[in-house]
Structure 1
Amino acid sequence: MVPSRDTVDRRFPRAVFSRGTEPDARFSLANERTFLAWTRTSLALIAGGVALEALGLDLQPQLRLAASLVLIVVGALLPLAAWVAWAHTERAMREGRHLPHPPVGAVLAVTLTVAGVLVLLAVLLR
């Protein structure tokens, strides 16, 4: 069943749903699952940052704190980046354009590399 235009116009965000035509629901749901996966990843980053600092491991304190802050800050910002990526992908599907390449994977790679190097240094310099 195709929703009426009136139903579509009330969905949020309007900047996404008011454009183009309704894509196959499977693709929209896959896009939503990707957004939710990034949200779970952000929760894991925050939990890892909190655990790293809260456990008080025998590591160099300033580097341990820096690694914790990197994980927590990126974990807090990642859902926003995932939301933007979701909206761009949904809009591209609705307008029949090529899917954009979201930068959230690169952000995660850089974050984990930086946090890993900080923890490695914290272990070596204790």
Structure 2
Amino acid sequence: CKLVMEGLTSNQMLEYMHHMAAQVSRNKAKQYLSAAFPLNTPLTDDRPEVLAANGGNPKIITDKFEIGKTGVVLAAMGGFDKVTFDGAGDVYPSVNILEQLGRAESVELVHLAHERGLL
């Protein structure tokens, strides 16, 4: 099951993922919960530690790589098994996500996901 985390703040994403992970009946060896993060849509990070570090204000993340790194953290915190990234934008034809991020950042996101136990 892949759920897109678009239009939600980070706290809303975490609440949604926690509830989904708790309610879904599945074979964990064959069926995964995946959180998909759109890299071309700003992410509003309103986790308590972010609010505390920013004088009570949420952080609006627009950098694709930063959205990806935050997505990895949120997917792991939300109890999901897998993180994916959506590179869709407002251009046609769409640009491959590997071209948008570059090889080094793409590889780093994979490593960060694996370090947190995500697929």
In the superposition, the TM-score normalised over structure 2's length comes to: 0.29
When you count helix as a share of all residues, which structure comes out higher?
A: 1
Between structure 1 and structure 2, the one with the greater Rg is 1
